[in-house]
Every structure is written in structure tokens, then in C-alpha cells.
Structure 1
Amino acid sequence: MGKFTISHEINCDAETFWKVFFDKTFNEELFKNQLGFPRYDIVEQRETDQEVFRKVVGQPKMELPGPVAKLIGPGFSYIEEGRLNRSTKVWSWKMTPSTMADKLRQEGTMRIEPVGDKKVRRVTEMTIEAKVFGVGGLIESTVEKQLREGWDHSAQFMNRWIADGKAG
């Protein structure tokens, strides 16, 4: 099982961060055009006084080692269900893969910390687990590498989005 933490500085205040994070246009641009996902659809998003809930169906662009690609299959996708707890300001999510859902687990939490005027640090803690004999470690390390690259790219894109005045 792999557990890791990624942090990035985003050039905005907390209110702007969450506004952009939940913006449909931002997410479609990020996942489809920036990260190259063949499919990314927000299928449900609702808000209450306690939380913001979002359900996404995604098909990531993946570069996998041969044995992992063969195991996972060509049309790999996932369903992500996430919740922002309004009182703790922590986003937590769980992904359910389209293949081997009983053997693959990915979940995590994300929070932001103020680090100055108009700047926050996004801290993401993730867990990846692949219970697959012989290649579990390879799957976990491959997924971690791709997630780190994707989150790095998303931070750069979010900062550009905000700098370009698209945060509203």
C-alpha cells in the first residue's frame, strides 16, 4: 500500500480556491484539455449547509507498463465520489475503478492552509492500494507517479486560470 502527500502553493485566498475547485468549466478544461482525459463528466454536484458533494466519471489518459495495461484493460475508467466538509474544510474522496474494484483502492483528503496574502497551500494525502499478486507494487508505483504529475500540472493550471482572471 502506498501513502503519500503532495503540496502545492496556489495564488489565491481560500474562498477563491474552493470556487475554482468546484467550477465545472475549470474542471472540464483541466481534465479534458490539460490532462488529456478521453472522458471527464461531473454527473452530480449538490450542496447543503454541511457539505458539497460531487460525483465524477473519469477515463484518464494512462501510460502503463505492459503487464499493468494488460491487467487493467484498454477502457479503464473510474467513479469518484467526494465531499467537502464545510466545518472542517476538508475534501475527501474515494475512487471506484471500472476493473478490479475489489483489488484496487484509491482515496484521499485535501485541505488548504493560508500561507500569506492571497496564497494558500493545497495539501493532498492519498492512499493507493493494489491487491494483485506479483504486480501490486508496480501498479501502486505507476499510479503514484501519474497522480503526482497530474496534481503538479493541475496546480500550475489553477494558478494560470486565476492569474488570467477566470476565477470570477
Structure 2
Amino acid sequence: MKTSTTSAVLPCAPAAFWSSFLDESYLRALYVDELESRTFDVLELGDASRRLRIGPKLKLPAPLAKLIGESFVYEEHSTLHRASGEWTWRMVQPAKLDSKSKPRKDAVTMRGTGRIEPAGPDQCRRTDTWSIEAKVFGLGGLLEATIHKELQSGRDKEYAFLGRWLEQHSDAS
């Protein structure tokens, strides 16, 4: 199992962060435009929870590409605990996969938390912690390391994107 923590100071107050984070247009711009996901669907979106179906663009070593396939899709199920400012999420295999998918139930388990705390005027600190466990004989470590690298890259892009998004949409508030 691989675990990791990242942290960044973001250019907004916690309320502005959560407002964007739970906004469908922000999510679509982030996943489709910024992260270049192959597929993206909002299955459920509330003021304290969301379920997304994502077909990420992955850069995989050849053995993993063959194992996972190009049509890999997952669902993110997540909940906001407003009192603590903590977001919890887990990756689940979709109940219905398309015929091209290579379902590998429980081959990879991912879950994590994101905590938002005030960090000064119009700033907040986002701290993300996640764990990845790959149960694939002979390739588990490589799969965990690759997913970790992809998650880290995605977080870095997301942190930068949020600043641009807020700047572009500050007049719309």
C-alpha cells in the first residue's frame, strides 16, 4: 500500500473553495479541459456530496496498459463534512461498465481525504492524503507507483487551475 500527503495554500477563503469544488461547471472544466479526461459524468452532486464517473487520461507503462486497458473508468464517491472542513472520497468500480472495459474488481483500492483550513485573508490550505493499494500479482508495486504519480500530477494541475478559475469567475459571484 502506498500513502501520500500533499499540501498547498490556495488563493481563496474556505467557503469560496467549497463553492467551486461543488460546482458542476468547475468540475467539467477541471476534468475535461484541464485534466483531459476521456469521459466525465456527474452522477450526483449535492451541497455536501458528489458521485462522478471518470475515464482518466493515463500514462501507463506497457504491462499496465495491457492489464488495465485504454477504457479504464472509475467512480469517485465523496462526502463533505462541513464542521471539520474535511472531504472524504473513495474510488469504486462502476456497477455497469461498457463492453470494452476490463473490470478487475478490487484490483485497485483508492481512498483519501482533503482538508481545507483558513490560511490568512482570502487564503486556505488544502491538505490531501490518500492511499492506494493494488492487488495485482507481480505488478502491484508498479501500479501503485504509477497511480501515485498520476494523482500527484493531477493535484498539482488542480491547484493551479483553481487559481485561474477563481480569477476568471470572480466577477460572476
Please indicate, yes or no, whether the TM-score normalized by the shorter chain is above 0.5: yes
Query: Any conservation in 2 of the 1:54–1:83 contact (CA below 8 Å)?
Result: yes
User: Does the alignment pair 1:59 with 2:49?
Assistant: no
User: Does the alignment pair 1:141 with 2:145?
Assistant: yes
Give the percent of matched residue pairs that are identical in Structure 1 and Structure 2: 37
Q: TM-score, normalised by structure 2?
A: 0.90
* Residue in structure 1 matched with residue 74 of structure 2 by the alignment: 78
* Residue in structure 1 matched with residue 135 of structure 2 by the alignment: 131
Counterpart of 1:90 (choices 83, 86, 93) is 86
* Residue in structure 1 matched with residue 120 of structure 2 by the alignment: 116
For residue 88 of structure 2, what is the amino acid of its counterpart? Answer: S
Q: Give the structure with the higher percent strand.
A: 1
Return 18-27 or 92-101, whichever deviates more.
92-101
Shift of 1:24: 0.5
| Unmatched tracts of structure 1, length 5 or more | none
Tell me how large the CA RMSD over aligned residues is: 1.2
Structure 1 distance, partners of 2:74, 2:164, is 27
| Unmatched tracts of structure 2, length 5 or more | 95-102
Query: Any conservation in 2 of the 1:76–1:97 contact (CA below 8 Å)?
Result: no
Matched pairs, number: 164
Query: Any conservation in 1 of the 2:22–2:46 contact (CA below 8 Å)?
Result: no
Q: TM-score, normalised by structure 1?
A: 0.93
| Deviating 4+ runs (over 6 angstroms) | none
* Residue in structure 2 matched with residue 36 of structure 1 by the alignment: 36
